[in-house]
Chain A
Amino acid sequence: MKCRKCNQNAVINMREHKLALCKEHFLTWIPEQTQRSIETYQMFTVEDRILVAVSGGKDSLALWEILNQLGYAADGLYIDLGIESDGGYSSRSRQFAQAFANQRGLALQTVDVRQREGASIQKAAQIARRGSEKTCSVCGLTKRHIMNQTAREGAYDVIVTGHNLDDEAAVLFGNTLNWLSGYLLRQEPVLPATETGFARKAKPLCRLYEREIAAYAFLKEIEYIHDECPYAKGANSIFYKETLNSMETARPGIKLAFYLSFLKAKREGMFASRTNAAREFHICPTCGQPTLNMDECAYCRLWNQVRTVIEEPPRKP
């Protein structure tokens, strides 16, 4: 197969775009497409200070590389969740993120959840009796909170994450199957900053296929953690991605059409904001971050509960 632009051997065939490209043209095409999304959804400009949430995986590191290549000022944030199963998953992820930053002279800020809160994610999930499968909800809550707090304290204009099209389509698929109207309403390529204290959040890779990002990372020789989080085994999101991939094989472009049609339908007034009207945010008296609770936010409640149990003296037999 030949590159459509120069007739050299192609390295990738993107059936969804009817486009095969050689290495050189593909490595130009990916940043061009990312820039297009940044502009289309008005995510940020070169004037903005950007905080990239990096996990040590291919998507976030590829995103950081692309933003750097496009000339954006972007620092990294790595959140060490203390997941030590599977041969030290968090430690290994952290090493990939740190090595990437060091090699390119980029600034990476690391927040260690165990140092900050006194326990790892799995310990917190056990104490909160959320069960092993719910470790993901403790993880999501913790990451969202720390990302927002770090962005505010560091005066960053926007937090960016490496969510790709497959992530977006899988979430959309799950939310649609379960008719989660609130989540459907809030799934956007960019969420604006709010007066209550949420920083702007953007997903510049939201129109790029996961396979394209993996190919970009491979061709740019980005070293990343290939293993999946040990708590992700049997996860819904993986099942949704596999289901969508089998549909994509039969109908190339179906994932992109699914996501873009959803965004178009929202712009045209589907999912009216009735569900949004009920979301009134307050300020958490403990941490100062926005919350739907009238008192402490879910993050402070969770970690206060964890600390109380950890600091409790052992009961006498």
Chain B
Amino acid sequence: MERPVHTATVFLQGKMFSVRGGMAIRDVLKHLDLEPDAFLAVRGDLLLTDDIILNPGENLRLIPVISGGSHNPASMHSR
């Protein structure tokens, strides 16, 4: 007999995390200790708002949005 699935899967930068199904995306981000402003949440080709519930067995992809790293950040904002 197959065991019921209670978890959903989150993919982030080549890593995979199992989280409890039935959580809202904002709670998934909190659970993984991630800032909501730093990620997009995507299921298939759909961009999702953070109130959407991630059901058991579903997959969610988190896309980091931060870029533009520099040890001398002011230099490109000047002459």
Contacts and interface: CB of A to CB of B under 8 A. Distances in A.
B76 to A, nearest CB: 5
What size tier do the contact residues of chain A reach? Answer: 35 or more
A218 B63 contact: yes
Contacts of B67: 57-59, 210, 228
B15 interface: no
Given A144-B79, A183-B78, A214-B40, A11 B47 contact: yes
A240 B65 contact: no
B44 interface: no
B68 interface: yes
A140 B75 CA distance: 6
Nearest to B69: A232
Contacts of B40: 211, 214-215, 218
A11 B63 contact: no
A226 B64 CA distance: 8
Interface stretch (A34-42, A164-172, A266-274, A306-314): A164-172
What size tier do the contact residues of chain B reach? Answer: 20 to 34
Nearest first, the 8 A-B pairs at minimum CB distance are A232-B69, A140-B75, A237-B73, A214-B65, A235-B69, A136-B71, A11-B47, A245-B35
Interface of A: 1, 10-13, 20, 23, 57-59, 133-137, 139-141, 143-144, 161, 163, 166-168, 170-171, 174-175, 180, 182-183, 186-187, 191, 198, 209-211, 213-215, 218-219, 226, 228-229, 231-233, 235-238, 240-242, 245-246, 248-249, 290
16 contacts: A1-B49, A10-B49, A13-B51, A23-B47, A136-B72, A183-B78, A210-B67, A211-B38, A214-B40, A215-B40, A232-B71, A236-B73, A237-B73, A242-B66, A245-B66, A249-B35
